[in-house]
Amino acid sequence: MTTVAECLLTLNAGSSSIKFALFAAAGGEPAPLAAGQVEGLGTAPVFKVRRSAAPGPVAVPLQAEGPMSHRAALSVILAWIEATCPDARIGAVGHRVVHGGSRFEAPVAVDEGVLAALEAYVPLAPLHQPHNLSGIRAAQAAFPAALQVACFDTAFHRGHPYVADTFALPRSLYDEGLRRYGFHGLSYEYVARRLAEDHPALAAGKVVVAHLGNGASMCALNAGRSVASTMGFTALDGLPMGTRCGQLDPGAVLYLMQEKGMTAQEISDLLYNRSGLKGLSGVSSDMRDLEACDRPQARRAIAYFVDRIRHELGGLAAALSGLDALVFTGGIGENAFRVREAVTAGMDWLGIVVDRDANAGNATVVSTPWSRVQVLVLPTDEEAMIARHTLAAVAARSPVAA
């Protein structure tokens, strides 16, 4: 029997939100106590929390008006935990870290050497990595005796075959780390685990998972293992996202530099912060806003998003040499039934036939009984995955009782 921390906390800093979850850590399996998030960072922040025994989330008033930084949002979360759960002893904090590079293939206990190594990956994930590392430092200050554990979005994809892991560049650059990493790995790992528990026959087969949210990507799973992903060296590649461009001809970047005279920083700001659904529509980066908008620019932005998903679905099915299931997850994937309907429309050639009523009701299985490929909607839970990894790290460090 191992000695574990009384409670553990998870922090998940996204491009426009910070999620947290508090777990009881006794008994070998993390048990959720409370969870919440501050979303709308940079625009109109909203803080919602949910206790495990409560029927749903409740809004917590924020003193700040207008845009809020990640640092300020994290302070709000830590203050809420301290005020609401004063008896909770935080023995470990698990952190989502977007980029682990070629060095980190599994969760790791954080020390100054690890932090220094992760700082080097900031240019590869500028929307996330700085906030991830700020979260670690804030947690170190708030809980100095707690074990800090970094859990990587890239780790789940590290077993890709070479052809899915490389670019057509000189091999020396690949050896230096210029390669395809893939992201959203904690989400895909959770979905793979859920499939193994609830749909074992599908989990043993060929599955494409579409993680669609403010950040969006897709992943091909063969028997639960990632074999291909739409994201590459950075979290810019693949699908268009809330503010990120997705797939882009590299010649367009050269054109912006040479003909438009844009600096690297200006191009970075364009591709990360002013493109994607926001750039295409000129309206919003939020799919809910776009679906409610009757402007043609909003319609075209959604159409482009759907078209790229359909392109990538065909490519990932080819990488798998077949398809047994398509899983939608993430904020858009779980809730935007019109997007799912548009993605799967006319996909009977691939074996996908969707039940419109089940899909409109956000059912778990939204394909028809005669669809050769099952289509599922599964909520993801990156926090639960981080908590499991963190608890395992605590147990590995704990002495065995005599």
The catalytic site residues sit at 153
In 3D, which of 391, 402, 400, 399 has the Cα closest to residue 91? 391
- DSSP one-letter string for 158-208: TT--GGGT--SS-HHHHHTT-S-----HHHHHHHHHHHHHH-HHHHTSEEE
Q: Rounded to 5 degrees, what are φ and ψ at 51?
A: -85, 150
Contact indicator for 67, 41 with CB cutoff of 8 Å:
yes
Beta bridge partners of 206: 222
- Sequence length of the chain is 402
Beta bridge partners of 209: 219, 327
Tokens of 316: 């990932």
Interatomic CA distance for residues 345 and 310, integer angstroms:
10
Contacts of 25 (CB under 8 A, 6+ apart): 4, 5, 6, 7, 8, 91, 92, 391, 394
Interatomic CA distance for residues 224 and 207, integer angstroms:
8
- The gap from C-alpha 131 to its chain's centroid, in whole angstroms, comes to 14
Interatomic CA distance for residues 220 and 401, integer angstroms:
42
Interatomic CA distance for residues 155 and 152, integer angstroms:
5
- The gap from C-alpha 34 to its chain's centroid, in whole angstroms, comes to 20
Helices (H) and strands (E) in the chain, counts: 15, 13
Contact indicator for 146, 139 with CB cutoff of 8 Å:
yes
Contact indicator for 234, 127 with CB cutoff of 8 Å:
no
Interatomic CA distance for residues 344 and 367, integer angstroms:
10
Element (H, E) at 212: strand 206-212
Contacts of 286 (CB under 8 A, 6+ apart): 214, 242, 277
Contact indicator for 199, 166 with CB cutoff of 8 Å:
no
- DSSP one-letter string for 333-360: HHH-HHHHHHHHTTGGGGTB-B-HHHHH
